[in-house]
Amino acid sequence: MTADRPVLGILLMIGFCALAPLGDAIAKILGDTIPLGQLLLVRFALQAVLLLPVVWITGQSLWMTPRVFRLMLVRTGLHIVGIGAMFTSLRFLPLADAVAIAFVMPFIMLLLGRYVLGEEIGQRRLIACCVGFGGTLLVIQPSFAAVGLPALLPLVVAVVFALFMLVTRQIAKQTEPVSLQATSGVAATIMLGAIYLLFADQTEMLRIVTPNGFELWLLAVIGVLGTVAHLLMTWSLRFAPSATLAPMQYLEIPFATVIGYLIFRDLPNGLAFVGIAITMGAGLYIILREQQAARLIPPEA
């Protein structure tokens, strides 16, 4: 077990928030020419190739308890679905819009806690949920009018990555981050390879194309960025509680806005900017209320 070091955890999460949208931007560039399945397969295969030697050199173990191994497989499946949904959405949406819509995640999880788990969340946080959903709809509305249902894909990303973060926190202190990411890369490669063997001839997204030199370089970069970014995220959860890190995750939106403008000259329109501000404000309010509520709970005897 590792003691919490909140400042280090926050710095690692900020690194994730900077690198993740940069990787998404490269996926957006490649999305028109490289099929989704090939993007995902290269992304996770490179993760395994990069990290397995590190595990060997540092003398770490890939062994996991049965419980951690099962959770790792669940986490890996969620990771594939979440990244796949985000990469697909980026074919249709500006980078900042897709990232901002995905930040409906705290509201979804809060409502699931109330209506599925029966947790008490309070009237103020329910109101904040409604306000946050309203802000998200302001971001979705112009995109939905332009591209239709693909504008809702970031909502899928929100649900999947909320579950991904929950599972990661459950196992982050019971395994080394590099070993976890290496094992996850191997598992994802095997899962995607099996999908190719079974369904390669049945869908366009599983087609294999030969990339040109520039595309090959970008594919390598997307694998490296994805590996490093999610290592930083895993490390951050190892050193700091998720409640501490949650507000930091909203930095991904301004990072995505800047990266989207520099690479694609895309900026959210006025309505989307208002929606982003409302979503961020409501999300941060909910996080603050969650932290206040946690402090009011007396420690167990």
Give residue 301's pLDDT.
39
Averaged over 137-143, what is the pLDDT?
75
Reduce the secondary structure of the chain to three states and give it as a string. Answer: CCCCCHHHHHHHHHHHHHHHHHHHHHHHHHCCCCCHHHHHHHHHHHHHHHHHHHHHHHCCCCCCCHHHHHHHHHHHHHHHHHHHHHHHHCCCCCHHHHHHHHCCHHHHHHHHHHHCCCCCCCHHHHHHHHHHHHHHHHHHHHHHHHHCHHHHHHHHHHHHHHHHHHHHHHHHHHCCHHHHHHHHHHHHHHHHHHHHHHHCCCCHHHCCCCCCHHHHHHHHHHHHHHHHHHHHHHHHHHHCCHHHHHHHHHHHHHHHHHHHHHHHCCCCCHHHHHHHHHHHHHHHHHHHHHHHHHHHCCCCC
pLDDT 10s digits, 258-288: 899 999 988 777 778 888 888 778 777 777 7
Averaged over 95-101, what is the pLDDT?
87
Q: Is 203 left (phi over 0), alpha (psi -120 to 50) or beta?
A: beta
Number of Cβ within a 10 Å radius of residue 219: 20
pLDDT of 99 higher than 50: yes
| pTM of the complete model | 0.81
Residue-averaged pLDDT of the chain: 83
228-232, 235-239, 259-263: which is most confident: 259-263
pLDDT 10s digits, 34-64: 999 999 999 999 999 999 998 999 898 888 9
Domain range list for the chain: 6-294
- Across 15-29, 193-207, 261-275, 279-293, least confident range: 279-293
Give residue 45's pLDDT.
95
